[in-house]
Amino acid sequence: MIDRAESRGPVLVTGASGFIASHIVAELLSAGYRVRGTVRDLTKTARHSHITTLPGADERLELVAADLRTAAAFDDAVAGCEFVLHTASPYQIDVDDPQRDLVEPAVNGTLSVLESCAGAGSVRRVVLTSSVAAITDRADGHVNTEADWNTRSSLTRNPYYFSKTLAEQAAWSYVGRSDTGFDLVAINPFYVIGPSLGGEVNTSHRSLTGFTNGKVPVILAIEWPFVDVRDVATAHVQAMERPDAGGRYIVAAGTRTMRQVVDLLRANGWGDRYRLPSIGLDGRIGVPISKLAARVQRSGTRDYLMSHLGGVMRFDNSKVRSELGLEFRDIDKTILETMDDLERWGHLGKKR
């Protein structure tokens, strides 16, 4: 393990104000590290005030500007750092131009960070925030492991998944062919939920907010492998600190169907305050009806629904538990805490 007191330079966290990244910053500060975080625009202080006000931030957090779309933008940010946690990447399901809006910033941004790390001469390890999207893009009952790669996505099928796959593959290729001086570890979380430090709503959260604002009036045959954002943050820090960490790590705690989530919310009083989905389309007849309706959605949403409706998601998280010692939070508790947090930030629908 790293001797935190002897860690010579700051730990760099790219995209530091993001949902996952802000929890990583909080955990690093709590552990006593000096942290350097990148943000797109230093002048927009409201966008990153949730990390600059964290305990320890005044003494041990510095922010620098860096944009994934700008060449060599991370050179100054990486200088003097031994460890880089690269979380910055676009996360959108529906976009106008998948190549421009997803693939190019994800791949080029990742390579730009790695090139800066190689040029710095001080970096020992890079921990890359990848995704389940680089593992698979369908729910087919296969037990996914770190050996699996998403081979089905493309610019026209689940392009967000495609961008994450290409970005991680580009990272492994770069490290494999270059004398970088550092090693690479990839974290592959599944559907990340949990309390938000900055009040943002990520794509996974929208599945829950849709239950209360009328955008999801039906119960679909969808199964989600959830993980708490705080566990994802811990996985990053452990992957950084443990010298024997290596390769990829699936980070997911357990699966819940949409019906199980709705039933959980109803059992805990959410149905008394909000109009939860009640029309069941998760049966034998409902699945083909849902797939027919999915065809009129925007391309990203359509692709996701067509590759997941009626399917079963399975995974093996034994590697992250045995090698990084990660103990996952209870998923049902995380779902309820997430709903409380979304309500606190005003993201849920109108109450009854």
d(CA 215, CA 217): 6
- The DSSP result for 112-150, as a single string, is HHHHHHHHHS---EEEEE--GGGT-SS-SS-EE-TT---
CA-angle at 334, arms to 328 and 339, nearest 5°: 165
Terminal-to-terminal C-alpha distance of the chain: 52
d(CA 8, CA 33): 10
The burial of 29, by beta-carbon neighbours within 10 Å (0-12 exposed, 13-18 middle, 19 or more buried), is given as: buried
d(CA 32, CA 331): 29
| Pairing state between β 183-189 and 314-315 | unpaired
Contact by Cβ (8 Å): 106, 170:
no
d(CA 161, CA 308): 13
| Pairing state between β 314-315 and 11-14 | unpaired
Contact by Cβ (8 Å): 19, 200:
yes
Instruction: Quote the tokens at residue 20.
Output: 């996952």
Q: Is 164 a catalytic residue?
A: yes
Say which of 44, 164, 333, 351 is annotated catalytic. 164
d(CA 315, CA 50): 33
Residue 136, H or E segment: none
* Nearest alpha-carbon partner for 327 in 257, 260, 227: 227
Annotated active-site positions, please?
164
